[in-house]
């Protein structure tokens, strides 16, 4: 039995060496600091070319390593197992092969060195870093940035798909200022927007403001509806008013407490507002009856006197434009224009696409998803100016689709450059402000090379590179992406699980993210666990049970990313606690057998004397 196993392992070893030799061109292009890591990745890819499960079962039965955790040092681990089997057979003179010099003991240090080079030193209380996406407010609110750092933020993420260069500059200044004041190392990651397919603008519904008094169960008025009136264009609040509208400043200046303001509401019904009081901003009014106000609504002061007696209303709040889609609905995806719902004049809804060049690269019958997979459809017809889609996936009650929502085409072979014109314009700002740059929607080695060439032109070759794996093609080409990234001095991988789940299928996400984690570990490359981590808690303050388990998986990575939200501080404290606890139970794929304090005293009591 030993001879058969040794023969299989030697065959596997030769396969690894042959694969390393066949990848000489790739290996020659990596930076010196990644040379050993690149060879180890080549060996790991060769190992995974075979189904090793039967071999693993036999090795496990003998009590030797089954190679299940060999990612950091594949060849040397294999040589150790071969040497052990030789000794079990009686060949005591056989010594373990060295594989790569120092690999077994150095692999952990390589990963640690690469992680520190990219993400900065680990905090004292945990080994996994926490990254936080900065909200727009971080550009103006230094206290918010300092709070984020005080709550455990190790890396600040700026998303270049939102805000503008002046906002990014202000955010970066606040981060650097807070880091200096707190004497804490904090890195800045700036994500390039990339060729993200999104829905275009959608026509907003008519601006209508509904005033509604509070009533009891019998319809009796408990409190009147309140409305503030202020000069048109002003943003100052009227004290006591839950909502404010604008009016002619001269007309407003003549109003007094007790004045009655008559108008016709949207239904043509006569209504009135009563002025309760005025302050330095405007006047507070109340209504005893429900009324709907429109931009063309004209208020008329009932009291006669000199000056203006009427004004139009201004600054009515506009609701977001939404498409209402049901299963079976027809949707036209257009080259441009303003989206609109189906109506008696249009038999279908329509919305524009931000990257119309994809129209030439799709085929009838291919799937299309909107808003992180919430709405799904199939391409039924292709015309020069639009694609006709049939909505196939939506809730029974239908779904609402807004502007600027993501579009995924998982079946289509899209040829889109990873660097858009906007990205190239943004790169000088990124090179000046950031420590590392995120390459969004990266799909092939040429994308990585293109970014590195631009960084070379900007004299920013020391900048860290983050590969954002968020498409099926990017996942399928992961090995070549890793080798290309190793040409950089510092590089890492972000598992962008939102788009990746839609592209690869939700049922495959767990498998896909596991394979990415393993390949990155073999490359000794740090990983960022990203997208929707503790998302419910960030938004509502309360996590789901599934989110806690998902956050605990972040211990397998070197960094966990949280998105912005009203309860981000609470989510950071929770994540910090989870990671601190889990690091005593697991490191990467390897479980750690620390003492279980909860059970030990009870077991000691039950032991016989």
Question: Which fold, 322-408?
Answer: M1 Pyruvate Kinase; Domain 3 (2.40.33)
Report the DSSP beta bridge partners of residue 262.
272, 300
Q: Hey, where are the domains in the chain?
A: 2-101, 112-133+416-591, 209-312, 322-408
Q: Residue 378 corresponds to which tokens in the numbers above? A: 């199939």
Q: Does domain 112-133+416-591 have CATH number 3.20.20.60?
A: yes
**Long-range own/partner contacts, residues 134-141 (CB < 8 A, 24 or more apart):** 134/158, 134/171, 134/175, 134/564, 135/564, 136/162, 136/163, 136/167, 138/170, 138/171, 138/174, 138/175, 139/163, 139/166, 139/167, 139/168, 139/170, 139/171, 139/174, 140/170, 141/174
Give the closest residue to 43 by CA, choosing from 559, 523, 546, 596: 523
Residue 108's pLDDT is 62
Residue 508's pLDDT is 94
CA dist., res. 548 & res. 20, Å (int)? 40
CB atoms within 10 A of CB 80: 19
Residue 319's pLDDT is 85
Alpha-carbon radius of gyration of the chain: 31
Contact 293, 245 (CB under 8 A): yes
Residue 485's pLDDT is 98
Which residues touch 535 (CB under 8 Å, ≥6 apart)? 547, 563, 565
Residue indicated by tokens 């005293």 = 601
Give the closest residue to 132 by CA, choosing from 118, 115, 151, 117: 151
Residue 595's pLDDT is 85
10-residue block means of pLDDT along the chain (609 residues)? Answer: 91 96 96 96 96 94 93 94 91 61 59 96 94 97 96 97 96 97 96 94 91 92 95 93 95 95 94 95 96 94 90 91 95 94 86 92 96 95 96 96 94 90 97 97 96 96 96 95 97 95 92 97 97 95 95 96 96 96 92 83 58
φ, ψ at 502 (rounded to 5°): -70, -40
Residue 99's pLDDT is 45
Residue 100's pLDDT is 45
Residue 603's pLDDT is 55
> What is the pTM assigned to this prediction?
0.84
Q: Do domains 112-133+416-591 and 209-312 have the same CATH topology?
A: no
Q: Does domain 209-312 have CATH number 2.40.33?
A: yes
C-alpha distances in Å from residue 150, one per residue of 13, 228, 246, 572, 586: 49, 39, 41, 10, 26
Residue 396's pLDDT is 95
């Amino acid at each position: 039995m030993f001879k058969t196993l040794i023969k299989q392992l030697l065959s596997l070893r030769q396969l690894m060496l042959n694969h390393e030799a066949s990848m000489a061109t790739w290996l020659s292009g990596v930076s010196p600091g990644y040379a050993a890591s690149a060879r180890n990745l080549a060996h790991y890819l060769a190992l995974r070319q075979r189904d090793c499960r039967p071999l693993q079962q036999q090795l496990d039965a003998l009590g030797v390593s089954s190679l299940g955790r060999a990612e950091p040092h594949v060849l040397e681990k294999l040589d150790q197992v071969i040497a052990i089997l030789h000794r079990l057979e009686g060949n005591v003179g056989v010594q373990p092969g060295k594989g790569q010099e120092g690999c077994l003991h150095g692999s952990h240090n390589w990963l640690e060195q690469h992680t520190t080079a990219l993400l900065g030193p680990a905090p004292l209380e945990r080994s996994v870093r926490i990254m936080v996406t900065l909200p727009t407010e971080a550009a103006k609110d230094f206290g918010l940035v300092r709070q984020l750092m005080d709550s455990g933020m190790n890396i600040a993420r700026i998303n270049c798909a939102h805000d503008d260069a002046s906002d990014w500059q202000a955010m970066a200044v606040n981060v650097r200022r807070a880091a200096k004041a707190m004497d804490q190392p904090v890195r800045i990651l700036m994500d390039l927007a990339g060729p993200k397919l999104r829905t275009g603008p959608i026509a907003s519904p008519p601006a209508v403001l509904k005033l509604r008094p509070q009533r009891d169960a019998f319809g009796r008025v408990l409190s009147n509806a309140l409305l503030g009136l202020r000069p048109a264009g002003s943003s100052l609040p009227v004290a006591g008013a839950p909502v404010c509208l604008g009016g002619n400043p001269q007309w407003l200046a003549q109003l007094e407490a007790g004045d009655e303001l008559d108008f016709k509401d949207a239904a043509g019904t006569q209504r009135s507002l009563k002025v309760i009081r005025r302050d330095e901003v405007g006047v507070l009014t109340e209504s005893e009856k429900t009324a709907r106000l429109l931009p063309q609504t004209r208020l008329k002061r009932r009291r006669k006197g000199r000056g203006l007696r009427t004004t139009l209303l201004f600054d009515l709040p506009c609701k977001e434009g939404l498409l209402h889609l049901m299963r079976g609905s027809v949707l036209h995806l257009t080259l441009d224009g303003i989206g609109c719902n189906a109506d008696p004049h249009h038999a279908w809804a329509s919305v524009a696409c931000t990257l119309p060049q994809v129209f030439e690269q799709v085929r009838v019958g291919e799937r299309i998803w909107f808003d992180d997979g919430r709405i799904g459809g199939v391409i039924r017809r292709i015309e020069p100016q639009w694609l006709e889609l049939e909505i196939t996936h939506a809730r029974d009650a239908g779904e609402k689709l807004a502007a600027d929502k993501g579009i995924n085409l998982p079946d289509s072979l899209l040829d889109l450059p990873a660097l858009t014109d906007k990205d190239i314009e943004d790169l000088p700002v990124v090179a000046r402000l950031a420590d590392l740059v995120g390459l969004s929607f990266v799909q092939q080695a040429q994308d990585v090379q293109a970014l590195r060439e631009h960084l070379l032109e900007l004299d920013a070759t020391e900048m860290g590179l983050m590969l954002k794996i968020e498409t099926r093609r990017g996942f399928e080409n992961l090995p070549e992406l890793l080798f290309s990234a190793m040409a950089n001095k510092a590089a890492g991988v972000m598992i962008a699980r939102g788009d990746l789940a839609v592209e690869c299928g939700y049922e495959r996400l767990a498998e896909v993210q596991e394979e990415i984690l393993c390949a990155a570990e073999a490359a000794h490359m740090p990983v960022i666990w990203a997208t929707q981590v503790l998302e419910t808690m960030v938004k509502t303050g309360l996590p789901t049970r599934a989110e806690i388990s998902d956050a605990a998986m972040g211990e397998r990575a070197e960094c966990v990313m949280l998105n912005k939200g009203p309860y981000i501080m609470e989510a950071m404290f929770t994540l910090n606690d989870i990671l601190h606890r889990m690091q005593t139970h697991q490191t990467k794929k390897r479980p750690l057998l620390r003492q279980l304090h909860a059970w030990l005293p009870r077991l000691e009591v039950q032991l016989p004397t």
